Amino acid sequence: MNLVHFLTNPWASVWFAGNTLDYTALLVCASIGAAFAFRGGLFNLGLEGQIYLGGLAAACALLFVPGGLAPGLSLGLAAAAAALTGALMGLFCAFLKKTTGANTLITTFLLSSALMPVADFIIAGPLRDSAGSMLATARFSAGLPRILPPSNLSLSFVFSVGLCVTAHIFISRTGAGYRFRIAGGSPAFARYGGIDADSVSVPALGLSGAFGGLCGFFAVAGTYGLCYQGFSGGLGWAGMAVALIARNRFPALLPAALFYATLKSGVDQTLLSSVISINASQLLEALILMLATVKFSRARLLKGIAHGI
């Protein structure tokens, strides 16, 4: 299988194209969360857990809200519960940083690692659908409408693109966004201009966690229609990779997510065809991601060539 087939097979049918776009939507939302932390000068290594716990919170809202509510209202409550859960996880780590000086690189990761097994227990225990054979909840009566059946593509794609545009407008067109990116990008310059650089950690991690929680909502309410154990499946880490590919620029998140989703879908289909081994496919994926995240410098490259000559 050549590289052309590797990149075009994810778009070879309605099923594959829809699922690729659906995964793109999840990546866009997760990468917005990662980019907000990066733009604030922080690392949020708890994004995976925020997605997972946010999805669980959304599932609880969809399972236990009164049945008489309109589907739109039920979904709105579920989205709010997911965003709030992720935001609280991020804000707790920001609180630790401001009060104790704790490193957010460690606290976000440890909090996520500690809470994910609890979520596993809840999904496999109290919330498990006894009528099914999966470690999963019952299917929700309300869910995001599908756009391209029979694929999993839902309105989450439209919402994710809208959130990406909104994030770009905030960071580039508002006074609060200007202070946010200056304080995160150059704390010394921000202090010189009278901006409290340390205060950025709270909104940065809060927004990052909120978008992680929304990604979990899109996954359970849009992609799967239920919440199953381990549904996040590396979405948080993939979202960080997409943010790095896009250089944390919000307009570039969509094409970067589309590239990553195409790559992953191509890898999955290649493995199913048994043409390439799992190790070789993962190596190809890693090489492309490494090349995409390397910051090339034309001047440095030309200087190296000149020295070589």
pLDDT confidence of residue 283: 67
Residue 6 within any structural domain of the chain: no
Share of the chain above pLDDT 90, in %: 57
Mean of the pLDDT values across residues 259-272?
Answer: 80
Which pLDDT tens digit goes with each residue over 118-132? 999 999 999 998 888
Q: How far is CA 167 from CA 15, 99, 163, in A?
A: 30, 28, 6
pLDDT confidence of residue 45: 92
pLDDT confidence of residue 46: 95
Res. 89 pLDDT band, cuts 50 70 90: very high
pLDDT confidence of residue 156: 95
Which pLDDT tens digit goes with each residue over 219-235? 999 999 999 999 998 89
pLDDT confidence of residue 41: 87
Structural domain count, the chain: 1
pLDDT confidence of residue 3: 66
- Minimal CA–CA distance to 76: which of 185, 15, 176, 155? 155
| Whether the predicted pLDDT of 158 surpasses 70 | yes
pLDDT confidence of residue 300: 52
Residue 161 within any structural domain of the chain: yes
pLDDT confidence of residue 301: 47
pLDDT confidence of residue 181: 86
| Whether the predicted pLDDT of 209 surpasses 90 | yes
Which pLDDT tens digit goes with each residue over 28-61? 999 999 999 999 888 899 999 999 999 999 999 9
Share of the chain above pLDDT 70, in %: 85
Weakest-pLDDT range from 40-49, 236-245, 267-276: 267-276
Rg of the chain over Cα atoms, rounded to whole angstroms, equals: 20
Residue 81 within any structural domain of the chain: yes
pLDDT confidence of residue 2: 60
Residue 1 within any structural domain of the chain: no
- Which tokens belong to 285? 């994926």
Most confident of 19-28, 58-67, 266-275: 19-28
Residue 300 within any structural domain of the chain: no
Average pLDDT of the chain, as a whole number = 86
- Minimal CA–CA distance to 217: which of 113, 75, 33? 75
| Whether the predicted pLDDT of 88 surpasses 80 | yes
Residue 160 within any structural domain of the chain: yes
Residue 282 within any structural domain of the chain: no
pLDDT confidence of residue 120: 95
Question: Residue 195's Cα: distance from chain center in Å?
Answer: 29
pLDDT confidence of residue 194: 78
pLDDT confidence of residue 200: 80
pLDDT confidence of residue 146: 93
User: Residue 125 and residue 270: Cα distance in Å, rounded?
Assistant: 36
Mean of the pLDDT values across residues 241-256?
Answer: 92
Q: Which residue has the tokens 């390439």?
A: 276
Residue 273 within any structural domain of the chain: no
What residues make up the domain containing 48?
18-250
